[in-house]
């Protein structure tokens, strides 16, 4: 296994090194000027490192920043377009990063005071013992939590909670696989629902905001939540069809005792509700979503609901990963590489719809084998450069496509977790994962597109 | 590497019992109690608990609100924890044997 992975990485590396070398040696490859050549090499380096993961994903972001500061910026200056270094640094602490940081803080507080666990337990014990009903309840709950918590945290919480009763089913019962896959897939799908549900959404929002095209928080939910509900129902039916077990009922024992709510838990609940309300009403109060995200940060750390250890334990690596995408986007934009790419792909005269389908399919293929966030980081700046009248649906379509790709254990962390239980074979995940990706993309490009038009997205 | 067998300070017994305490939002705490005289021997905090044989299930429980971004990363991290636990255990056992041979009790 490992030797095969090494050789696969070698192939990608050799190809990328060759491309980068050609770009470097040739004076103006395919009509590129100096700055776009520099940005092109940085793009090839970033893509290679993000696809192969030879260094941690966030390190690649820092490599991008380093290359931009020591190479792209001087080249831009030489070509008569001086750029402030802060242009490249800004994406690492933008309004959207702050929004995401707020999401992590909510996630951390809800987890620390076991509110995620408590909600999950309360609902699971009420879904009844019939397995199809329990599966739907578990999936709906996972998706709802994953709209507000990270997909990883949601999947970990739900798997830890559900594994005891999944393991209480007979060893050969196919419902075991259905429940495990249901949790993983629902955690991925739930990310579509809100701007903070998954990093690709936030990255898309960041670019749309720069262009003055960003939908409001509630508007995103109006687009995303119906998609989540439809995809969840289809996935549930598909899993029941593919993994029909023998046992009809399961004993759900609430074996983990949960303490009563204390004052701190109530502050967390109140702070969370206020923050969400603030995000939904940015239009009426006029503060940005990132500004609203300061509320839980100040409240929870100020009142010592969360400690400095909790602050250190936040997923800063994910924020750096998102920042690297923004930085790459700045380089692609300022160097004119986006214009060069658009001029060289035969899509620039196509309709919005064709562009969305092309990039959506590319996003599904890429995010099936690599990180969703890294995929969004590579594709969205190019989409943003497209000179089409309505870029918003394309951005959203590509962001959604990133969350729809889940055929392999390595496609997303929730998949890796479900697979790590040892109950699944790759083919168990591949079959439903491929169907979800294809059906999801088709729905987004048909009903979804029509729905986005109705709600006034474009 | 230095390896010690935990001993009760009161009665020198090596017969100890670990009490694992989990409290929401707190790192898991282990209280080591002497099985012979019942005294407290030690207390330590766990940042990362791996229960061999229960594999991923107990590890997921201790994972917290972290957000991983890569499926490969998650898989590698779990393999690392699992391998580190086993090789660490074997190394400690081996070291203890060597120490015993150098300085017999
Ligand atoms: Zn004793």
Tens-level pLDDT at each residue, chain A (458 residues): 444 455 777 888 888 888 888 777 777 777 788 899 999 999 999 999 999 888 999 999 999 999 999 999 999 999 999 999 999 999 999 999 999 999 999 999 999 998 988 888 888 888 877 889 999 999 999 999 999 999 999 999 999 889 888 888 888 899 999 999 999 999 999 999 999 999 999 999 998 888 888 889 999 999 999 999 999 999 999 999 999 888 878 777 655 556 678 899 999 999 999 999 999 999 899 999 999 999 999 999 999 999 999 999 999 999 999 999 999 999 999 999 988 888 888 776 788 888 889 999 999 999 999 999 999 999 999 988 887 777 888 899 999 999 999 999 999 999 999 998 889 999 999 999 999 999 999 999 898 888 888 888 77
Distance between CA atoms of residues A16 and A22, nearest Å: 10
Given an 8 Å threshold on Cβ–Cβ distance, is B74 in contact with A149?
Answer: no
- The predicted model gives B45-72 an average pLDDT of 83
Which tokens belong to A109? Answer: 């507080």
Return the pLDDT at A2: 45
Its ipTM equals 0.81
Give me the numbers of helices (H) and strands (E) for chain B, helices first please. 2, 3
Q: What's the rounded mean pLDDT across residues B56-66? A: 80
Q: A96 is written with which tokens?
A: 């959207």
Greater confidence (A127 vs B29) lies with B29
- Classified as helix, coil or strand, A186 is helix
**Contact list, B61 vs chain A (CB under 8 Å):** 156, 160
Helical (H) or strand (E) element with B40: strand B40-46
Partners of residue B72 in chain A, C-beta under 8 Å: 53, 410, 416
The angle subtended at Cα A380 by Cα A386 and Cα A192, nearest 5°, is: 125
CB contact under 8 A, A416 and B72: yes
End-to-end CA, chain A: 47
Question: To the nearest 10°, the Cα dihedral for A362, A364, A369, A373?
Answer: 90
- Please indicate whether, in this complex, the C-beta atoms of A104 and B67 are within 8 angstroms of each other: yes
Calculate the average pLDDT of chain B: 87
Contact A313 B64 (CB under 8 A): yes
Interface residues from chain B to A (CB-CB < 8 Å): 24-25, 55-57, 60-61, 63-75, 78
The structure tokens listed for A90 are: 């800004």
Instruction: Tell me which DSSP letter residue A130 carries.
Output: B
- Predicted pLDDT of residue A341: 86
- B15 C-alpha vs ligand 1 centroid, how far in Å? 8
Answer yes or no: do A53 and B73 touch at CB < 8 A. Answer: yes
Which pLDDT does position A1 carry in this prediction? 41
With CA atoms as reference, report the closest residue to A142 among A175, A191, A105. Answer: A191
Chain B residues in contact with A315 by the CB 8 A cut-off are 66-68
Which chain A residues in 267-306 lie under 8 Å from chain B, judged by CB atoms?
A: none
CB A203 within 8 A of CB A371: no
| Calpha distance B102→B83 (Å, rounded) | 29
Q: Mutation target for B interface from A56, A156, A161, A409: give the one with most B CBs within 10 A.
A: A156
Question: What is the DSSP-derived secondary structure letter of residue A256?
Answer: S
pLDDT score of B68: 87
| Chain A positions in Cβ-Cβ contact with residue B65 (cut-off 8 Å) | 104, 107-108, 110-112, 149-150, 153, 313
Q: Which among A152, A159, A409 has CB closest to B66?
A: A152
Contact B87, A75 (CB under 8 A): no
Least CB-CB distance to B70: which of A104, A150, A371? A371
Residue A255: per-residue pLDDT:
57
Q: How close is the nearest chain A Cα to the Cα of B78, in Å?
A: 8
Question: What is the model's pLDDT at position B22?
Answer: 81
Interface check A335 vs B, CB under 8 A: no
Question: Hey, where are the domains in chain B?
Answer: 16-102
- Integer Cα distance of B24 and A331 in angstroms: 45
pTM: 0.89
Q: Are β-strands B28-34 and B16-21 bridged in parallel, bridged antiparallel, or unpaired?
A: antiparallel
* Residues A445, A450, A455, A457, CA torsion sign: positive
- Alpha carbons A331 and A174: distance in angstroms, whole number: 50
Residue A3 confidence (pLDDT): 46
- Rounded to the nearest 5°, which phi and psi values hold at A249? -130, 160
Put simply, whether A176 touches B (Cβ < 8 Å) is no
């Amino acid at each position: 296994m490992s030797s095969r992975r090494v050789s696969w990485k070698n192939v990608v590396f050799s190809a990328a090194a060759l491309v980068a070398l050609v770009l470097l040696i040739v004076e103006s490859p395919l009509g590129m000027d100096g700055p776009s050549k520099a940005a092109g090499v940085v793009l090839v380096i970033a893509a290679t490192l993000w696809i192969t993961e030879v260094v941690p994903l966030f390190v690649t972001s820092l490599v991008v920043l380093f290359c931009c500061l020591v190479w792209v910026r001087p080249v831009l200056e030489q070509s008569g377009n001086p750029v402030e270094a802060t242009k490249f640094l800004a994406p690492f602490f933008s309004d959207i990063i702050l929004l995401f940081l707020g999401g992590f803080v909510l996630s951390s507080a809800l987890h620390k005071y076991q509110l995620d666990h408590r909600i999950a337990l309360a609902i699971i014990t009420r879904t009844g013992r019939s397995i199809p009903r329990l599966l739907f309840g578990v999936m709906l709950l996972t998706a709802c939590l994953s709209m507000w918590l990270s997909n990883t945290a949601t999947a970990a919480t739900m798997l830890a909670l559900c594994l005891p009763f999944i393991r209480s089913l007979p060893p050969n019962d196919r419902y075991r696989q259905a429940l495990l896959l249901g949790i993983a897939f629902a955690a991925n799908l739930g990310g579509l629902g809100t701007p903070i549900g998954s990093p690709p959404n936030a990255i898309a929002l960041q670019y749309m905001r720069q262009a003055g095209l960003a939908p409001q928080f509630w508007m995103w939910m109006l687009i995303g939540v119906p998609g989540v509900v439809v995809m969840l129902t289809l996935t549930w039916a598909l899993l029941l069809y593919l993994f029909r077990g023998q046992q009809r009922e399961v004993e759900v024992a609430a074996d983990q005792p949960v303490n009563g709510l204390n004052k701190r838990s109530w502050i967390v609940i109140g702070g969370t509700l206020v923050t969400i309300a603030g995000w939904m009403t940015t239009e009426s109060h006029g503060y940005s979503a990132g500004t609203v995200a300061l509320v839980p940060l100040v409240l929870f750390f100020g009142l010592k609901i969360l400690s400095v250890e909790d602050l250190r334990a936040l997923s800063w690596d994910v924020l750096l990963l998102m920042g690297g995408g923004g930085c790459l986007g700045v380089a692609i934009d300022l160097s004119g590489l986006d214009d060069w790419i658009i001029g060289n792909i035969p899509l620039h005269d196509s309709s919005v719809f064709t562009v969305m389908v092309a990039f959506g399919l590319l996003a599904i293929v890429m995010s099936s084998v690599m990180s969703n966030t890294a995929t969004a980081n590579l594709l969205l700046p190019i989409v943003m450069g497209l000179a089409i009248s309505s870029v918003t649906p394309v951005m959203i379509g590509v962001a959604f496509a990133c969350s729809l790709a889940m055929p392999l254990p390595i496609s997303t962390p929730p998949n890796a977790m479900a697979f790590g239980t040892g109950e699944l074979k790759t083919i168990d995940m591949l079959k439903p994962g491929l169907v979800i990706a294809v059906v999801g993309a088709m729905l987004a490009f048909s009903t979804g597109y029509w729905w986005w038009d109705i709600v006034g997205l474009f | 590497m230095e390896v010690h067998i935990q001993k009760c300070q009161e009665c020198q017994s090596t017969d100890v019992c670990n009490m694992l305490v989990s409290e929401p939002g707190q790192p898991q705490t282990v209280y080591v109690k002497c099985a012979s005289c019942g005294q407290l021997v030690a207390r330590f905090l766990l940042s990362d608990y791996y229960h061999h044989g229960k594999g991923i299930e107990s590890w997921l429980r201790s994972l917290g609100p972290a957000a991983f971004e890569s499926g490969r990363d998650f898989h590698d991290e779990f393999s690392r924890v699992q391998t580190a636990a086993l090789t660490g255990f074997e190394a400690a056992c081996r070291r203890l044997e060597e120490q015993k041979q150098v300085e017999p009790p």
